[in-house]
């Protein structure tokens, strides 16, 4: 079984992945942030490092999906390969931060990979406003995220909403996170768990 959590930067994906992994006893695949050789450079010079970063993420996420598929275990994944392909890479291209040549090359690589993978059994989308994202980003205090532009987050949010509206790869659960704090409020986490349980029961009827 493959569960995945999607959402913009600062929406709470990693935190929820950890909490759900612990509760359901699922194995977890996290986004490779600490060991990513391009992330720091990307936030300093997006145009120079955009293609390198996106290919790195694409490769990393593809490997995770293959691992999940081959293992036969129950996994929860922090961010999906589709967010890279349908949100982050097109956004960088539209902002002039990735050349058309690089973007076309990127799409060819993704389309090749997409033929070998399936979507998650359940996608959990964390919907958050830009002010909420900024609050969460500032709270966790990653140095390389200090330079993230508001227009960058806004454009990403718009693309997330467009992608979710058209999502058809499997079951979908949308969690509105602006007015909850599931990392510190057990009752709010329990409500999310109840919603996930209901979706999972539907999968295995």
Domain positions in the chain = 2-203
**Residue 2 and residue 68: Cα distance in Å, rounded?**
7
Query: Is the Cβ–Cβ distance between 80 and 6 less than 8 Å?
Result: yes
Active-site residue 165, yes or no? Answer: no
pLDDT at 11: 95
**Residue 13 and residue 60: Cα distance in Å, rounded?**
17
pLDDT at 136: 87
Per-residue pLDDT 10s for the chain (205 aa) are: 999 999 999 999 999 999 999 999 999 999 876 778 898 898 889 899 999 999 999 999 999 999 999 998 999 999 999 999 999 999 999 999 999 999 999 999 999 999 999 999 999 999 999 999 998 888 876 766 766 778 889 999 999 999 999 999 999 999 999 999 999 999 999 999 999 999 998 776 5
Q: Is the pTM of this model over 0.75?
A: yes
Q: Which member of 41, 67, 73, 78 is catalytic?
A: 78
Q: Quick one: CATH architecture of 2-203? A: 3-Layer(aba) Sandwich (3.40)
């Amino acid at each position: 079984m493959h569960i995945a959590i999607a959402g913009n930067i600062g929406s709470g994906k990693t935190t929820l992945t950890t909490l759900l992994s612990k509760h359901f006893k699922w194995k977890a695949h996290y986004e490779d942030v600490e060991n990513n050789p391009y992330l720091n450079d990307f936030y300093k010079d997006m145009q120079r490092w955009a293609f390198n970063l996106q290919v790195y993420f694409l490769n990393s996420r593809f490997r995770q999906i293959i691992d999940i598929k081959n293992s036969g275990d129950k996994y929860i994944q922090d961010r999906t390969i589709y967010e890279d392909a349908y949100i982050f890479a097109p956004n960088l291209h539209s902002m002039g931060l990735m050349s058309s040549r690089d973007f076309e090359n990127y799409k060819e690589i993704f389309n090749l990979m997409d033929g070998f993978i399936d979507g998650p059994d359940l996608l959990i989308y964390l919907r958050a406003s830009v002010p909420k994202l900024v609050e969460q980003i500032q709270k966790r205090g990653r140095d390389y995220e200090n330079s993230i532009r508001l227009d960058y987050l806004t454009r990403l949010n718009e693309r997330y909403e467009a992608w979710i509206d058209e999502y058809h790869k499997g079951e979908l659960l949308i969690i509105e996170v602006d007015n909850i704090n599931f990392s510190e409020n057990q009752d709010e986490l329990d409500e999310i768990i109840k919603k996930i349980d209901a979706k999972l029961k539907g999968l295995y009827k």
